[in-house]
Structure 1
Amino acid sequence: MKISDLIGSATANTFRSKTRTLLTILAIFIGAFTLTLTSGLGTGINAYIDDTVTAIGASDVMTVMKSSDTDTDNGFGDADAGPAEYDPDAVSSGQPGPPGQTVVALTPADIDMLADIEGVLDVQATRSISADYIQVGDGTRYVVNVGGLVAGQQTPLAAGAEPDNSSSQLQLALPTSYVEPLGFADGAAAVGQTVSIAVTDAERTEQVIEATIVGVAEETLATPDGASIVPNDALTDALFDAQNTGLPAAEAQRYAQASIWFDPAATDEQISALKDRLADAGYAGSTVADQLGAFRTVIDGIVLVLNAFAVIALLAASFGIVNTLFMSVQERTREIGLMKAMGMGSGKVFGLFSLEATFIGFLGSAIGAVLAIAAGTAISSALSGGFLSDLPGLTLIAFEPVSIAVIILLVMAIAFLAGTLPASRAARADPVNSLRYE
């Protein structure tokens, strides 16, 4: 019997018992459907994280903070160890977190020390600005954070252009979440308008700085709060100087963090070595990719757990394949004996039943994958137009042809292994005894 004949015979024999076969295919379908859907979820979110890192840019920049001697990462200390001891050198971290969250301040001496570390090409202190509110004319005042971008970083925009750091004009990019509350019809209408930003100086006097909106920034994973304006250097200088009015120079030159530049062609090993040198000097450094890596770790963990359930379903389905083929072997005992009596070798008999198992696996996995793609695409489209609309460019569930092919081949391999036991039994059948079977 030729290979083509063997495949044709296996395909035809698969549906001799339609109900039993369909139930087995359904069990495989559930596992393949789940596996495809969870794989697409991981692919979609990780692709969005990669796109976010690429869009932000500045892959050769690292954010550096001074390492703390405590085991806590907030100003209150470990809940089990009691409150943290007061540190006069601590400043506000400027990062989202519990109220009062602080870090050890960087001083000009620290900036000079960072510049001398091997692999550091340049250092720039990050000035922390705490704004009171933002307002348009005499309208409602809204609480706002002041962010910032180092050279090389980019702001994903919904309208307008990025703030120009080379301009002496006071410019900013406004978050999309502030467009409507501030009274603008849309992002395009906000561009070119003037806003007032208030800060309180060291003498407890409110100072108001006016700036022009040149762009509207989209919300991304890098700006999860969606409440930070992005100023250009001129506006940053104006706000920082206003905030520090009345402070001695030594007090004003205290920074929560700094940005360091390294070789853009640096490998992962070289970047890791630079982090180690920073740690030895008492500093902690992280890149944009590191900061967003936590999202990837969480998503990969969730996908791994969901995939585990899918694999369990497939393993359960494999017992269905074993049962289906064992019953098929028993029902076709006389047929097996006749085939062997007519000269069909044990290898071809084994191949015939193994192909039946593999074909069942193919049908279940292919149907599951196709329906998972359809369901995933529909779900992703619905969510993108719903509560995920603030994350433009996010395809929550995305599918890669290679991943789909791997899933189908994996399920077929599981089906083949499940079919080896009944196939071996059929291959070992004695033709004389089989022909006598009633």
Structure 2
Amino acid sequence: MKATDLIGSAVRNTFRSKLRTTLTVLALFIGAFTLTLTTAVGAGVTDYVTKQVASLGSDDVFIISRTVPTSTDGPVPYDPATSSASSGAGGTSLPGPGGSDPLTDPDLAELAAIDGVLSVDPVQGIAIDFIEHAGGPQYEFSINPTSSITQADLLAGEQLSQDSSTNETVIPSDYVESLGFADADDAVGSTVQLGLTDLLGEQHTVDAVVVGVSQDSLLASGAGANPALVAEAADLQSARIDTGPARYPLAVAYFDPSQSAAGIDTLRTEIADAGFSAQTIQDQLGVIKTVIDGIVGVLNAFAVIALIAAAFGIVNTLLMSVQERTREIGLMKAMGMRSGKVFSLFSLEAAFIGFLGSAIGVTSAVVIGTALNSILSAGPLSALPGLEILLFEPSAIIGVIALIMAIAFVSGTLPASRAARKNPIDSLRYE
């Protein structure tokens, strides 16, 4: 019997018991449907995160903070010279990430002396009370401290200028209408007022030009400010009182991005040995991908459970088919069909059942998921442009179908081997 004849016979035999086959296909459909949707969710969110990370740019910088001290013997002793509670520079500098001690100018000099570090710039922490435009309503406002080294995902306008002496800011898109602008393009080029309070409790306002409007993002929050705006705000906030050495919550260390990954890891290790923590922007956002992968993994586990249950259904379906077709198997062997052909016939039946269940499940998932994408993009996810929560990649779809067909094929090996081992004489006598 030719391969094409075997396949044709396997397809026809699959529909001999329509109800039994339908129930088995339904079990596979549930697993394929679930697995396709969860895979699409993972692909969609990962694609969005990847695009957001790419838009941030700055592949040549480390975000530097002081390593948080740990102690297994109880609380860390207070040191007034370094503890974060003693914020310097007029109290305008904030503690580093996780409450770590701020950095000082000697720290910056030590970092700059490390081989491989091209330059080190401090990140000043400022606290903005409000933003207003043309005497209108005032709204709470916060500046992203790393905005000077990242690129905003712009809806309109341009990126911040690092060298400009003019105070510049990039505002989030949800401030446009509230501040009285007709649209994002109308906001670009306008002057807004930022309010802040100094150490003595006196409130000041700083003018800033809106150079861009950023889209909402899962990965970045707050507005952007160029170095000129940050410097003026920090100066006002300190009330120009000299309280000791300047301290900074973070610093930015520039390195040569053309060096190998091993070279960057070596540089990171040298910085860590000096008592500092060095992370790229991608490192800081990597935890988001880890969470996404964990959630998708849990969801995929439910789909795998459904597929395992379906595998037992395939075994049961084919075992019953072998039992019912005992005389037919005996006749085929008596006419010269070898055991390998019999094994292939029943294995192909199992694989075809897997194909039916997976193809129907994947097709249904794509149709429903595409419609769901449109609903979510126009509704709950409208504030996150560019996020396609369900991304159906051809390679993933083919992978799901291939996986389920493989599971079905393996499940069919037991019934197929039993059919292949049957003695033709005993099979012909079977009643």
- Shared fold, TM over 0.5: yes
Q: Which position in structure 2 is the counterpart of 1:394?
A: 387
AA of the residue aligned to 1:332: R
AA of the residue aligned to 2:3: I
1:30 to 1:84, Cα distance in 2 relative to 1, 3 A: farther
Over residues 84-142 of structure 1, what are the superposed CA-to-partner deviations in whole Å (9 max), with x where a residue is unaligned?
9585631464789xxxx633111110000001122211111101111111112322221
Retained in 1: the 8 A contact 2:95–2:102? no
Q: Tell me, yes or no, if structure 1 residue 212 matches structure 2 residue 212.
A: no
For 1:317 and 1:329, locate their aligned partners in 2 and report how far apart those are by CA, in whole Å: 18
AA of the residue aligned to 2:388: T
Q: Which position in structure 2 is the counterpart of 1:240?
A: 234
Q: Which position in structure 2 is the counterpart of 1:306?
A: 299
For 2:225 and 2:380, locate their aligned partners in 1 and report how far apart those are by CA, in whole Å: 28
TM-score, length basis structure 2: 0.93
1:82 to 1:279, Cα distance in 2 relative to 1, 3 A: closer
AA of the residue aligned to 1:158: L
**CA displacement at 1:349 relative to structure 2:** 0.4
Q: Which position in structure 1 is the counterpart of 2:357?
A: 364
- Alignment match of 1:160 (pick from 136, 157, 160): 157
For 1:212 and 1:407, locate their aligned partners in 2 and report how far apart those are by CA, in whole Å: 52
5+ long unaligned stretches in structure 2: 88-92
- Alignment match of 2:430 (pick from 409, 416, 437): 437
AA of the residue aligned to 1:232: N
AA of the residue aligned to 1:37: L
Retained in 2: the 8 A contact 1:198–1:207? yes
Q: Which position in structure 2 is the counterpart of 1:20?
A: 20
For 1:197 and 1:88, locate their aligned partners in 2 and report how far apart those are by CA, in whole Å: 32
**CA displacement at 1:368 relative to structure 2:** 0.9
- Alignment match of 2:315 (pick from 311, 318, 322): 322
Using the aligned pairs only, state the percent identity. 50
Retained in 2: the 8 A contact 1:179–1:185? yes
1:94 to 1:375, Cα distance in 2 relative to 1, 3 A: farther
Retained in 2: the 8 A contact 1:325–1:353? yes
For 1:380 and 1:417, locate their aligned partners in 2 and report how far apart those are by CA, in whole Å: 35
1:176 to 1:151, Cα distance in 2 relative to 1, 3 A: closer
Q: Which position in structure 2 is the counterpart of 1:78?
A: none
Q: Which position in structure 2 is the counterpart of 1:75?
A: none
For 2:404 and 2:69, locate their aligned partners in 1 and report how far apart those are by CA, in whole Å: 51
AA of the residue aligned to 1:29: F
Q: Which position in structure 2 is the counterpart of 1:46?
A: 46
**CA displacement at 1:186 relative to structure 2:** 2.1
1:20 to 1:93, Cα distance in 2 relative to 1, 3 A: farther
AA of the residue aligned to 2:304: V
For 1:332 and 1:229, locate their aligned partners in 2 and report how far apart those are by CA, in whole Å: 73
Q: Which position in structure 2 is the counterpart of 1:352?
A: 345
| More displaced 10-residue stretch of structure 1: 296-305 or 166-175 | 166-175
| More displaced 10-residue stretch of structure 1: 116-125 or 331-340 | 116-125
Q: Tell me, yes or no, if structure 1 residue 137 matches structure 2 residue 134.
A: yes
Q: Which position in structure 1 is the counterpart of 2:90?
A: none
- Alignment match of 2:410 (pick from 388, 412, 417): 417
For 1:299 and 1:353, locate their aligned partners in 2 and report how far apart those are by CA, in whole Å: 40
1:250 to 1:298, Cα distance in 2 relative to 1, 3 A: same
**CA displacement at 1:20 relative to structure 2:** 0.4
**CA displacement at 1:437 relative to structure 2:** 1.1
1:5-404 alignment, distance < 5 Å: 5-70=5-70, 89=82, 90=84, 91=87, 93=94, 102-149=99-146, 153-223=150-220, 226=221, 228-248=222-242, 250-251=244-245, 253-404=246-397
Partner SS for 1:242? helix
**CA displacement at 1:168 relative to structure 2:** 2.4
**CA displacement at 1:8 relative to structure 2:** 0.4
Partner SS for 1:413? helix
For 2:234 and 2:11, locate their aligned partners in 1 and report how far apart those are by CA, in whole Å: 75
Over residues 212-241 of structure 1, what are the superposed CA-to-partner deviations in whole Å (9 max), with x where a residue is unaligned?
212111122331xx4x22122222222122
Partner SS for 1:210? strand
TM-score, length basis structure 1: 0.91
Retained in 1: the 8 A contact 2:167–2:228? yes
Over residues 330-374 of structure 1, what are the superposed CA-to-partner deviations in whole Å (9 max), with x where a residue is unaligned?
111111111111100000000000000000001111111111112
1:313 to 1:190, Cα distance in 2 relative to 1, 3 A: same
AA of the residue aligned to 2:298: V
**CA displacement at 1:22 relative to structure 2:** 0.6
Instruction: Tell me the C-alpha RMSD between the 2 structures.
Output: 2.2
For 1:94 and 1:8, locate their aligned partners in 2 and report how far apart those are by CA, in whole Å: 72
**CA displacement at 1:150 relative to structure 2:** 6.3
For 1:436 and 1:156, locate their aligned partners in 2 and report how far apart those are by CA, in whole Å: 76
For 2:250 and 2:237, locate their aligned partners in 1 and report how far apart those are by CA, in whole Å: 18
1:93 to 1:40, Cα distance in 2 relative to 1, 3 A: farther
**CA displacement at 1:249 relative to structure 2:** 6.7
Partner SS for 1:198? strand
Retained in 2: the 8 A contact 1:202–1:246? no
AA of the residue aligned to 2:10: A
AA of the residue aligned to 1:248: D
Retained in 2: the 8 A contact 1:157–1:218? yes
Over residues 401-435 of structure 1, what are the superposed CA-to-partner deviations in whole Å (9 max), with x where a residue is unaligned?
11111111111111011000010111111111111
For 1:60 and 1:125, locate their aligned partners in 2 and report how far apart those are by CA, in whole Å: 16
1:54 to 1:304, Cα distance in 2 relative to 1, 3 A: same
Partner SS for 1:168? coil
Partner SS for 1:250? coil
